[in-house]
């Protein structure tokens, strides 16, 4: 009897261990995801041949806890966004959760927050007190398919000059092709630096919006995959991993509301 009992106990432990390790793969499509991001430091960017950034590290934490292979690929935002719109099982990060995009993706997050701001060339004398005043400007530089561009289009702006790369927006601002460019507060320093300028060459002239950004997962991806990603993210927030990653890139970030929010 004792030998039978020991055998049964051992068998149960083996089955339990197998189930624990196999759980993520039991969710259909969990390990078949295409993960796409863009050059958008400090959120996501390429460094020493590896995709990094604080949301990249958060995504790595999520897939690591599920045993999903790290197949994160950095490409242009336009390609990543278009692919996620048309193809199931695509993870796009990060993305602002706007009214226009709400039903176009499934959402996991939030994973960050930022402010969209109109920037002018320093010394230009441009003053903006409202979106209505901005609508009267001759030209505003935007990046193709970024949430800032979509936001302004939804507000009826027809004076937008769209470019696929944000560095082009800086150069257009500096050479006088446009009067203002729109960037987010956490990414503009690196964009300006990459364009060959410094933040001293620009000045903020109007706060456009404050928003949260998320991990977007394409329609057609199983709902249980999305739910699992959200539950793992919530666990990372609860155990301090999320905050540790975030602060390693932005030490003084105010995360109180971000840690409380869920989807």
Average of per-residue pLDDT across 217-234: 97
For residue 23, the model assigns a pLDDT of 40
The domain ranges of the chain are 32-113+212-260, 114-211
Residue 184, pLDDT > 80, answer yes
Query: Taking the complete model, does pTM exceed 0.85, yes or no?
Result: no
CA 213 – CA 235 distance, rounded (Å): 18
CATH of domain 32-113+212-260: 3.40.190.10
User: Model confidence over 185-202: pLDDT tens digits?
Assistant: 999 999 999 999 999 999
CA 124 – CA 249 distance, rounded (Å): 32
For residue 32, the model assigns a pLDDT of 83
For residue 257, the model assigns a pLDDT of 87
Q: Answer yes or no: CATH 3.30.300.30 is held by domain 114-211.
A: no
Mean per-residue pLDDT of the chain: 89
Q: Do 114-211 and 32-113+212-260 have the same topology in CATH?
A: yes
Query: Burial level of 152, CB count in 10 A (0-12/13-18/19+)?
Result: buried
Contact of 126 with 119, CB cutoff 8 Å: no
């Amino acid at each position: 009897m004792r030998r039978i009992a020991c055998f049964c106990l051992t068998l149960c432990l083996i089955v339990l261990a197998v189930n624990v390790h196999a759980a993520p793969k039991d969710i259909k499509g969990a390990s078949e995801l295409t993960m796409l991001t863009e050059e958008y430091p400090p959120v996501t960017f390429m460094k020493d041949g590896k995709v990094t950034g604080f949301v990249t590290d958060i995504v790595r934490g999520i897939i690591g806890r599920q045993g999903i292979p790290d197949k994160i690929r950095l490409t242009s935002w336009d390609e990543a966004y278009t692919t996620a719109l048309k193809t199931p099982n695509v993870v796009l990060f990060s993305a602002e959760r706007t009214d226009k995009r709400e039903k176009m993706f499934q959402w996991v997050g939030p994973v960050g927050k930022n402010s969209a701001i109109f920037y002018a060339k320093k010394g230009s004398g441009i003053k903006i007190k409202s979106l209505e005043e901005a609508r009267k400007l001759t030209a505003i530089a935007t990046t193709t398919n970024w949430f800032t561009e979509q936001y302004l289009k939804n507000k009826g702006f027809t004076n937008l000059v769209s470019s696929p790369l944000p560095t082009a927006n800086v150069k257009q601002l500096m050479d006088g092709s446009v009067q203002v460019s729109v960037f987010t507060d956490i990414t503009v320093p690196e964009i300006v630096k990459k364009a060959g300028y410094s933040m001293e060459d620009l000045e903020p002239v109007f706060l456009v919006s404050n928003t949260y950004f998320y991990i977007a997962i394409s329609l057609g991806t199983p709902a249980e995959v999305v739910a699992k990603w959200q539950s793992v993210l919530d666990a990372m927030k609860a155990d301090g991993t999320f905050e540790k990653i975030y602060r390693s890139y932005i030490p003084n970030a105010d995360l109180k509301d971000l840690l409380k929010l869920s989807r």
